[in-house]
Homo-oligomer: A and B are copies of this chain.
Amino acid sequence: MADVGRRAALGAAVVALGATAALADQPDALRGGVANGKVDMPKLHDPRTEVEGPLPNADPITRKLGVAVVGLGHLSLDQILPGTLTSNHVRVTALVSGDKAKARVVASQYGVPEAGLYDYTDFDRIKDNQAVDFVYIVLPNNMHAEFTLRAAAAGKHVLCEKPMANSVAEAEQMVAACKQADRLLMIAYRMQYDPYHRAIIKMVRDREYGAVRAISAVNGQNDAANGQWRQVLKQAGGGSLPDVGIYCLSAARYITGEEPVEITAQLTQPKDDPRFREIEDLCAFTLRFPSGVLAQCMSGYSHHESRHLRVMTTDAYIEMDPAFSYQGLAMHIGRKAGPAYATEMRKFAEKNQFGREMDHFAECIRANRQPHTPGEEGLQDQRLIAAIYDAARSGNAVRLPEIAGLDTTRGPPPADAA
């Protein structure tokens, strides 16, 4: 009570400061306002020299599409759920987990109602949940097909983590099922929505630094020896190749826009290392593209994190290091600058990659438009993964029919990612 009295006295005293009046003097134009339902503000900095991004103008919460996140492992907890908070068009409205206690804690953190909680057996009830527009499948790889089919059957659009499945047959079944159910299917190739990778694609297609000649890519990490599902062949469908090597494979494909015609490969499976009882450690594969580009790619599960990409063009090299991480990506362009060599590092603003990716899917759902990375994109990787394993196991080059055209497995590109 004494406090309240003292505070009231303060309130009276402060009127003399009169700062509020000063604010009123400021011209309206500089204070910004609302246009088309969005906030609009003048730039603070000289646009000729300073980078200033757009205002983060999300949709009103009540207009956002609802996503059901299926699986509450590390990727969901560390990246995807936080990513929904950065999204312009998506909010999480349901969670699917085999652990109800965990689901309830997460629900309390993200404001998901009890009615939005499902387990793997009662998941199909989600067809009745009007707050769910699409599901995001973040399960062990061998469950992707099942839950894609169940989600499509429940009338939900499907965003599915990579690798799409554990076999070409499963992948084909997923594409067919979503088609039959008239639901969109997108594979969560986050790099294809990232501004760095989009910038590389644009540089290459515009021949800003001439023609691509070769690509080198490495994506590996040192996994814990804890029997996690990635080390169980039945669940993971393979070792480092489908999990992290797929980033190298995918990058070689979306950068060139082409599909490989010849593959050589080698694997390792170290004895006496409990992580590799069932799966490969390293997978080194080389792709030949119709234009003559060679891409050397390597993945691994037993070395320090290394995520590196270098695209060699006639006039430059374009490097990403790290190339495939969730954050902190950096581009380096090496080229001649007069009498010197220049290496130019470019940095875009950090933004959660999963937020970008989900926003693309939301825009596709709203427009009923094919996603940039539909099921067909994942299916092609699935075919190539099978070919890489064939090449590695046989020791012989695997030759594939030439596919004419560019980006034949992709939908329209995302809106400008910057």
Contacts and interface: CB of A to CB of B under 8 A. Distances in A.
A229 B296 CA distance: 28
Given A149-B17, A224-B44, A335 B39 contact: no
Given A140-B22, A304-B314, A349-B327, A11 B50 contact: no
Interface stretch (A338-346, A356-364, A372-380, A400-408): A338-346
A86 B77 contact: no
A62 B107 CA distance: 11
Contacts of A317: 303-304, 306
Nearest to A399: B395
A117 to B, nearest CB: 14
Contacts of A288: 266, 268
A255 to B, nearest CB: 14
A126 to B, nearest CB: 11
Contacts of A310: 218, 306, 308
Contacts of A341: 51, 305, 346-347
B39 A102 contact: yes
A38 B264 contact: no
Copies in the complex: 4
A316 interface: yes
A153 B350 contact: no
A19 B306 CA distance: 32
Interface in A191-221: 195, 199, 209-210, 213-214, 216, 218, 220-221
Given A105-B38, A222-B49, A264 B124 contact: no
A264 B314 contact: no
A265 interface: yes
Interface in A369-403: 395-397
A238 interface: no
Contact of A300 (B60, B152, B214, B348): B214
Nearest to A346: B340
B223 A45 contact: yes
A281 to B, nearest CB: 7
B347 A345 contact: no
Contact of A102 (B34, B59, B281, B316): B34
Given A10-B153, A73-B41, A142-B22, A304 B50 contact: yes
B350 A150 contact: no
A172 B112 CA distance: 45
Nearest to A325: B341
Given A22-B143, A139-B23, A298-B296, A155 B342 contact: no
A130 interface: no
A22 B146 CA distance: 12
Interface in A67-115: 72-74, 77-78, 81-82, 85-86, 98-99, 101-102, 105-106, 108-111
Given A46-B223, A55-B78, A344-B343, A98 B31 contact: yes
Nearest to A148: B14
A224 B339 contact: no
B182 A50 contact: no
B282 A284 contact: no
Given A50-B336, A213-B302, A264-B265, A143 B224 contact: no
13 contacts: A9-B153, A10-B152, A45-B224, A46-B223, A49-B210, A51-B340, A56-B78, A85-B86, A296-B296, A303-B313, A304-B335, A328-B347, A341-B346
Nearest 10 Cβ contacts at the A-B interface: A11-B153, A395-B397, A60-B108, A14-B149, A339-B418, A19-B143, A303-B312, A17-B146, A10-B153, A213-B303
